[in-house]
Structure formats: structure tokens, C-alpha cells
Amino acid sequence: MQPFDLNPKRIVIVGDPKQLPATLMSENKAKTRFERSLFERLSDAGHPVFMLTVQYRMHSTIRRFPSDKFYGGKLEDALSVQLRE
């Protein structure tokens, strides 16, 4: 059963469209655009997207590159990460 079959009033999807896309070996993938995740499809359709900006796992030196390169410098370290350094 698909979750959408239950006609929910609200759905929360958690994902990261900046991660690697699906790998497709189809010749018509450009036409179908199946390499996009459901998260990306809903975002492209105008549904609201909220970015979580606090990260809890990486050392700040490692976090700096993806933050600057992919997330416009918006990622921040949680206090627990700062205290470990």
C-alpha cells in the first residue's frame, strides 16, 4: 500500500536533494526525468521546502566544504560538535 492511498492531510518528506541522484541506464531518462527523487519532484512542483541548517556529526573543518560548495554556507555546527573540537 502506498502512503498516498490513505489520503493524508499532511506529509513530511525528509531528504537531501544535494546528494547523489539515482543512477539510470535508460536511453529516455532525459525525457522521463526519472532520476529525480520524490523530494525533488515535489519541490520542483512548488511545495514548501525547509532546510535544516544544524549538523551534528562532522568536524567543522570537514563541514566547511559541503556547506560552502552545496548549501550556500548555511550549515552550522551543533553545540555538541563545537564542544568536541
Both 27 and 5 in one domain: the answer is: yes
Give the pairing of strands 76-77 and 54-55. Answer: parallel
Higher pLDDT, 7 or 26: 7
Both 46 and 60 in one domain: the answer is: no
Both 24 and 62 in one domain: the answer is: no
Both 72 and 42 in one domain: the answer is: no
Range of the structural domain that residue 4 is part of = 1-50
What average pLDDT does this structure show over 36-42? 82
The total number of structural domains in the chain stands at 2
Spatial separation of the C-alpha atoms in residues 32 and 81, rounded to whole Å: 42
Both 44 and 21 in one domain: the answer is: yes
pLDDT in tens, 5-15: 888 888 888 87
pLDDT in tens, 74-83: 999 999 999 9
pLDDT at position 1: 59
Both 84 and 64 in one domain: the answer is: yes
